Structure 1
Amino acid sequence: MYALVDCNHFFVSCERLFRPDLRNHPVCVLSNNDGCVVSLSHEAKILGIKRGVPLFQIADIVKKNNIAIFSSNYLLYSGISERVMKIITDTAKNVDVYSIDEAFIDLRNYEKKELVPLMRLLAEKIKKWVGIPVSIGVAPTKTLAKVAAHYAKKYKGYKQVCCIDDEQKRVKALSTFDIADVWGIGRQFSKKLTSFGVNTAYDFTQKKEFWVQKHFTIMGVRAWKELQGIPTINTTEINRKQSICTSRSFGATVTDIESLKESIAHFTAMSAQKLRKQNSIANIISVFILTDRFSKQEEHYYHTRSMALPVGTNDTAELILYAHQLLTELYKRGKAYKKSGVILSGIVPNSSVQQNMFDNLKNREKRSLLNKVVDNINSKSGLNSVKYAAQISTDKKWTTKTSFKSPDYLTNINELFEVH
């Protein structure tokens, strides 16, 4: 059996943690540059707001209902996520942190009768110690655990924990579960399935395996088996990304190369940190820059350039050096750039480094230790507490717009929560 611990409306719950006056009030959290709604409370859903809708389209609803709007504060969310995940890993063995607000627990070493009471205690502990509400699904596979967590969140009668532990419960749960919401199916797969008359997860399980193999990829077959109660998905493999892209649209257009270099250095450092977190290295780095495609003043410019690295690496300073080289080749004076980004690919485990006798870096072991120290400091003290000079700027014209951002309560001593 597996459990999925899923934080309810996570970004909204994080904001409400420091704003208890918003507990039963409609709240929406926006994407980068305050563009679209990425997280919303139950109260906001009742008003007809949907995830992904642009802010300008709901401006009248926001004003009429006094909806609380927040810019995404990822530094705050990651800090709260670390606290939630620490409780989970301290409480249970074999925990796989899947995302910022989800974690799987392998429950195969526990007695069946212990599962629901244990998970209910975990949910209560997270709520009491951190203040974040969670829903927990328990089932024979990770995909079914996702289905169970959906019902635990939707129906209060489950008291935060829904368990699918027999055939009757499995069939009942899948019979009313939309095929588009099944983990691993996706929008394109769901459209194809509905064209075949498959509207629910249960409909999908009634198809023969050879039919699924004929019409879908290996991921479709895995999803079908998981819904049957046959474990096939290794989330550790899923989490080890084959490419890492970090990019942002700028709050204002940028014309000078120095500002672009700062943005590229910042995105490269973020990508390198993600690489190290999954114990991997990259063999290819790509950089892209583009102008505003909606601008009527100039022709849209988008170009990318890639480089095969002489030695696979996750070293921040080395990757920034290569990224700046590529940017210099791409940059055209006089253009107003709206977005830049970095892509690391050719990703393999640390153990797969192919050495090069002509490698110019002779102190890779020491630099690896330096990166580890920097990551530890930033983990404890907040993102970018320690950073490279290439990332530092007094005028970050390239940063995203965050007009509704909450304070960094956990990492900035000047923005600590005040109690009056």
Structure 2
Amino acid sequence: MFALCDCNNFYASAERLFRPELNGLPIVVLSNNDGCVIARSEEAKACGIKMGDPEFLVRDLIKKFDIQVFSSNYVLYGDMSERVMHNLARWFPRLDVYSIDEAFGWLGGVSDLATYVPRIRKSVVRNSGIPVSIGVAPSKTLAKLANKLAKKNNGVMVLDTDEKITAAVHDFPVHDLWGVGRQYYKKFEELKIETAGQLRDMPEMWFKQHMTIIGQRMWNELWGRPAIPIDAVRESTKGVTVSRSFRNYIEQPDILAEAVTLYATRLAEKLRAQGLRCLYLQVFLYTNENREDHPQHFPSHTHKLLIASNNTSDLVKIAVTVSARLFKYGMKYRKAGVIATGLVPESELQLNIFSAHDGGKKDRVSEVLDKLNLAYGRGTLRMATEGYEKKWRLKHEFLSKGYTTRWTDIIKVK
């Protein structure tokens, strides 16, 4: 049996966790630069706030219903996600973390699911404070379906018999099924297939003739025949990206160097955290394509390293040099980013006969940077080209505190 554990309104729940006075109040979380709505509490949904709504278009609704607004605090969300996943890992022989707020677990060998699954939910809520819903079924697709039903059934739904599965799929909207995208839904709409039950009743031969392998897997999964196993080994990462939009337009190369330095620093940290090095570093710049009155420029360049690296010094130097070559006066740059590809494990570093390797010293410096920034807060030590004021940084007017990651923000109980 498979279980899908999903955090309820995760971002909003994480914001409420340290501010209980917000319980029952509508909450929205905004994207980078406080642009669009990316998360809503149930109360905010009832107020008419839709996913993806630009903030400036819903200001009247926010004011009318006194909706609490937060900038996206990914450090807080990432930390709370890790706590939830650690709690879940205690209950499952195998756990596949699917996203920041979802995980599939395997429950093979557990006989009394009706008792065991509510205990999992109760334990996670008690130990992390984040409400979760758990759906259990013989396949991942059915577990996803069960999870959606669990949100309306005290947080738990177990589909462990044919009768329960048939009843669950009978009225379940086909467009809410895991794996049904726009193209599939359009095809189902033409055939007047509105529910998962109707889709499951279609002949297997029709799926083989008209659907891709994904569609055939979906059909088997709806019948409780697992076609998407728990991932025993995660696929290796193909690339790592760090990119951000700027709070204000950047029109000077030295200001651009500050931003690119920060992004390359974050990229190097990510690579080291994953035990990887990169052979290729791409830098790109964007102007605002939505402003027809601005000249447009979307340059990018990929630099090949002679020896794969993940130390901050090397990557920052390359990124700043490349960005200076890409920069063009008269342009108003709105976004920049760096992408690492050609990733190799640190243990498989291959030297170059035509290049002296002095990375050992730089690697040790990066290691010291990581330790000090972990102990005293990110950015305590940084590259000089990163600057100090950073007026170009993301707009975060409604950012909550780092309750679990910053000493000064830890809640004090009197």
Q: What range is the shorter-chain TM-score in?
A: 0.7 to 0.9
Aligned to 2:248: 252
Aligned to 2:139: 141
Aligned to 1:304: 300
Residue 289 and residue 138 in structure 1: after superposition, are their counterparts in 2 closer, same or farther (change >3 A)? same
CA distance in structure 1 between the partners assigned to 2:182 and 2:82 by the alignment: 31
Structure 2 counterpart of 1:396, from 385, 390, 408: 390
CA distance in structure 1 between the partners assigned to 2:33 and 2:254 by the alignment: 21
User: Structure 1 residue 406 and structure 2 residue 400: aligned?
Assistant: yes
Offset from partner CA, 1:143-191 (integer Å, 9 cap, x none): 32222111111x13xx322112222222332333333333333334433
Contact 1:254 1:397 in 2 (8 A): no
The within-5 A match list for 1:12-27 is: 12-27=12-27
CA distance in structure 2 between the partners assigned to 1:376 and 1:146 by the alignment: 40
> Secondary structure of the residue that 1:49 maps to in structure 2?
coil
Offset from partner CA, 1:352-402 (integer Å, 9 cap, x none): 6665433543546x76677677667766776x2566415743121231111
Equivalent residue pairs, number: 413
User: Structure 1 residue 328 and structure 2 residue 327: aligned?
Assistant: no
CA displacement at 1:63 relative to structure 2: 0.8
Q: Unpaired runs of 5+ in structure 2?
A: none
Residue 310 and residue 163 in structure 1: after superposition, are their counterparts in 2 closer, same or farther (change >3 A)? farther
Supply the AA of the counterpart residue of 1:94.
R
Aligned to 1:152: 150
The within-5 A match list for 1:166-315 is: 166-208=161-203, 211-212=206-207, 214-229=209-224, 230-235=226-231, 240-278=236-274, 280-315=276-311
Residue 185 and residue 18 in structure 1: after superposition, are their counterparts in 2 closer, same or farther (change >3 A)? same
User: Structure 1 residue 165 and structure 2 residue 160: aligned?
Assistant: yes
Offset from partner CA, 1:196-242 (integer Å, 9 cap, x none): 44433334434455544554544444444333322324546666443
> Secondary structure of the residue that 2:90 maps to in structure 1?
helix
Aligned to 1:92: 92
Residue 307 and residue 62 in structure 1: after superposition, are their counterparts in 2 closer, same or farther (change >3 A)? same
Per mean C-alpha deviation after superposition, the further-off stretch among 328-337 and 176-185 is 176-185
Residue 262 and residue 122 in structure 1: after superposition, are their counterparts in 2 closer, same or farther (change >3 A)? farther
Aligned to 1:130: 128
Offset from partner CA, 1:76-98 (integer Å, 9 cap, x none): 11122222222222343322222
Residue 62 and residue 32 in structure 1: after superposition, are their counterparts in 2 closer, same or farther (change >3 A)? same
Supply the AA of the counterpart residue of 2:404.
L
Q: TM-score, normalised by structure 2?
A: 0.87
> Secondary structure of the residue that 2:64 maps to in structure 1?
helix
Contact 2:257 2:386 in 1 (8 A): no
The within-5 A match list for 1:107-118 is: 107-108=107-108, 110-113=109-112, 115-118=113-116
CA displacement at 1:5 relative to structure 2: 1.5
Aligned to 1:48: 48
> Secondary structure of the residue that 2:164 maps to in structure 1?
helix
The within-5 A match list for 1:26-105 is: 26-105=26-105
Residue 378 and residue 165 in structure 1: after superposition, are their counterparts in 2 closer, same or farther (change >3 A)? farther
CA displacement at 1:290 relative to structure 2: 1.3
> Secondary structure of the residue that 1:409 maps to in structure 2?
coil
CA distance in structure 1 between the partners assigned to 2:186 and 2:26 by the alignment: 32
CA distance in structure 2 between the partners assigned to 1:359 and 1:220 by the alignment: 51
Residue 385 and residue 395 in structure 1: after superposition, are their counterparts in 2 closer, same or farther (change >3 A)? closer
CA distance in structure 1 between the partners assigned to 2:133 and 2:58 by the alignment: 29
Supply the AA of the counterpart residue of 2:173.
D
Residue 105 and residue 299 in structure 1: after superposition, are their counterparts in 2 closer, same or farther (change >3 A)? same
Q: TM-score, normalised by structure 1?
A: 0.86
Residue 69 and residue 120 in structure 1: after superposition, are their counterparts in 2 closer, same or farther (change >3 A)? same
Contact 2:106 2:230 in 1 (8 A): no
Q: Unpaired runs of 5+ in structure 1?
A: none
Contact 2:242 2:338 in 1 (8 A): yes
CA distance in structure 2 between the partners assigned to 1:126 and 1:219 by the alignment: 32
RMSD in angstroms over aligned alpha carbons? 3.0
Residue 136 and residue 253 in structure 1: after superposition, are their counterparts in 2 closer, same or farther (change >3 A)? same
CA distance in structure 1 between the partners assigned to 2:33 and 2:98 by the alignment: 26
Residue 100 and residue 46 in structure 1: after superposition, are their counterparts in 2 closer, same or farther (change >3 A)? same
Contact 2:12 2:41 in 1 (8 A): yes
Residue 221 and residue 324 in structure 1: after superposition, are their counterparts in 2 closer, same or farther (change >3 A)? farther
Q: Identity over aligned residues, as a percent?
A: 38
Aligned to 2:5: 5
Contact 1:179 1:190 in 2 (8 A): yes
CA displacement at 1:33 relative to structure 2: 1.0
> Secondary structure of the residue that 2:395 maps to in structure 1?
coil
